[in-house]
Amino acid sequence: MEEIKIYTTPTCMYCHALMEWLDEQNIKYQEIDASAMDDIDVVPYTVIGTEKIVGFDRGAFKEAFKKYGIK
């Protein structure tokens, strides 16, 4: 199973909504605080394998989960 990395900031409501959604589905992820990162300027920014998802796009997440066998 691929590791899911989510770059977030403490005040990002979409980040918190995404993590809540993943928690409800019992999908594990690693949260990384992007507040001080110069190369991450949009959050949530998620990496699953080679997939990079910007924002909280449920369709893109479901496709990535299917591709990497995440349930």
CA atoms within 13 A on the CB side of 47: 9
> Are the CB atoms for 6 and 31 separated by under 8 Å?
yes
pLDDT for position 56? 97
The domain that holds 20 is classified in CATH as 3.40.30.10
- Give the integer Cα–Cα distance in Å for 63 and 41: 24
% of the chain surpassing 70 pLDDT: 97
Number of domains in the chain: 1
Give the pTM: 0.92
Range of the domain at 37: 4-68
% of the chain surpassing 90 pLDDT: 94
